[in-house]
Structures are given as structure tokens and as C-alpha cells.
């Protein structure tokens, strides 16, 4: 992160989210919620950094490139569309890399990978920062209204978001407990959006 004006970048991010919330409400809200939750988790775990902050907020900006797929009214069944949807991580990573956030790009590329290798591209993830964003992203998705269902109940959203991390070496038992408490406190903030 050479010569990046962090305060300028934070203002740019704030303005971008405000614009997205106005023009593409669901995308802007999800981007904001994943960023806020990943930031809250990193603060509670005392592992926050500028790279993780920007990766958390920009992790899904690449979905804007795939609007023809993401705007469908039903779950995707076409294998090719699913593969393309998974590529949003590359679009997002390219966006932050062009802004000078090299480490953020690496975090974003891995934010859908699981410790057991069961993520988008079957790469075992050992990156704590990517894991934080994965948990936040999944939890926000599960806890939000979508076209086909109401929010998943709190206990199940927490279970699904954390299940792969309770058996991995990425987080200690105490850290998993801290994350669980953070998710619990954020559930109502997320699930009430869109009602």
C-alpha cells in the first residue's frame, strides 16, 4: 500500500456506497453490511488493518459486473452462470488492485474459500482475513431477505457461517466464541433491512 491516501479512500468508499444504495439499493446495502460486519469482527479479534477494512467493503463489488446473472428471480441452475458468478471475486480483486490495495486483492480472491477446500475454487483457505470476510459475507447473505425467502433464523445463520471454522486451525476456540457473539449482536441489524 504505497502512497495511498487512506482518508481519501475511505471518503471515496463512503460516497460510492451512498450512490449504490440510491441506484442499486440491495447491492449497496449488502456491500455496506459485509464491510461493517467484517470490520466489527476484526476489531473484536484485534486484527484490524486497512487492507482487511477495504477488502471487507469491496469483496462483492464485482457482482455489479454480473448483473444479468444476479438479477434473476430464481436460484441459478445453469452451471456456466454459477461459474461466472463465482468470478465476481476476480472482478472485485481487480477493482481494489487498481486502487493500490494489493493485499486487499489477495484477501478478496480467497474470501469464498473454506479451510477444508470446499469453497468456490476448491482451494483450502488458511488466511484469517479472508476467513473473516467469508463469515461476514455468508452471515449477511443468510440473515438478509432475498427474492425467495425471509432471513434464516439467527441460530442457523450463525451455525452455517461458522461451521467450517469451528474445526479449523484458523481461529482459536476463544476467537470462534468472539465471532459468534459478534454475529449474534448483528443479526437484528441485518435481518430488519428490506422489511
The answer to whether 30 and 23 are in contact (CB under 8 A) is no
pLDDT (tens digit, 9 = 90+) per residue, 84-142? 778 899 999 999 999 999 999 999 999 999 988 887 877 888 899 999 999 999 999 99
SS3 (DSSP) at 149:
coil
**What pLDDT, in 10s, does the model give residues 165-186?**
988 899 999 999 999 999 999 9
User: Does pLDDT of 160 surpass 60?
Assistant: yes
Domain containing residue 86: CATH number:
1.10.3210.10
pLDDT at site 149: 76
Please report, for the chain, how many H helices and E strands are present, in that order.
10, 0
Confidence of residue 195 (pLDDT cuts 50, 70, 90): very low
**What is the residue range of 94's domain?**
6-191
CA distance 58 to 6: 15
Q: Are 134 and 160 in contact (CB under 8 A)?
A: no
Read off the pLDDT of residues 29-78 as tens digits, 9 standing for 90 and up: 999 999 999 999 999 999 999 999 999 999 999 988 877 666 655 555 67
Of the candidates 87, 104, 152, the residue with the CA atom closest to the CA atom of residue 1: 104
C-alpha cell at 123: 482451494
In a domain, 1, yes or no: no
- Check: CB of residue 153 under 8 Å from CB of residue 43: no
The pTM (predicted TM-score) of the whole model is: 0.90
Of residues 192 and 147, more confidence is placed in 147
What is the domain count for the chain?
1
Rounded CA-CA distance 177/160 in Å is 15
Mean of the per-residue pLDDT values for the chain?
88
Amino acid at each position: 500500500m504505497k502512497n495511498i491516501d487512506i482518508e481519501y479512500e475511505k471518503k471515496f468508499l463512503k460516497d460510492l456506497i451512498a450512490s449504490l444504495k440510491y441506484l442499486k439499493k440491495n447491492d449497496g446495502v449488502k456491500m455496506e453490511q459485509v464491510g461493517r460486519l467484517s470490520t466489527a469482527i476484526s476489531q473484536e479479534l484485534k486484527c484490524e488493518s486497512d487492507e482487511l477494512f477495504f477488502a471487507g467493503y469491496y469483496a462483492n463489488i464485482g457482482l455489479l459486473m454480473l448483473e444479468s446473472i444476479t438479477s434473476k428471480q430464481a436460484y441459478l441452475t445453469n452451471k456456466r452462470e454459477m461459474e461466472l458468478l463465482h468470478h465476481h471475486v476476480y472482478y472485485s480483486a481487480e477493482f481494489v488492485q487498481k486502487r493500490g490495495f494489493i493485499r486487499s486483492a489477495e484477501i478478496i480472491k480467497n474470501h469464498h474459500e473454506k479451510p477444508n477446500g470446499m469453497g468456490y475454487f476448491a482451494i483450502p483457505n488458511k488466511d484469517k482475513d479472508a476467513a473473516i470476510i467469508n463469515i461476514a459475507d455468508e452471515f449477511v447473505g443468510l440473515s438478509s431477505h432475498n427474492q425467495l425467502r425471509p432471513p434464516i433464523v439467527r441460530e442457523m445463520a450463525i451455525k452455517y457461517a461458522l461451521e467450517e471454522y469451528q474445526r479449523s486451525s484458523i481461529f482459536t476456540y476463544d476467537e470462534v466464541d468472539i465471532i459468534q457473539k459478534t454475529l449474534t449482536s448483528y443479526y437484528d441489524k441485518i435481518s430488519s433491512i428490506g422489511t
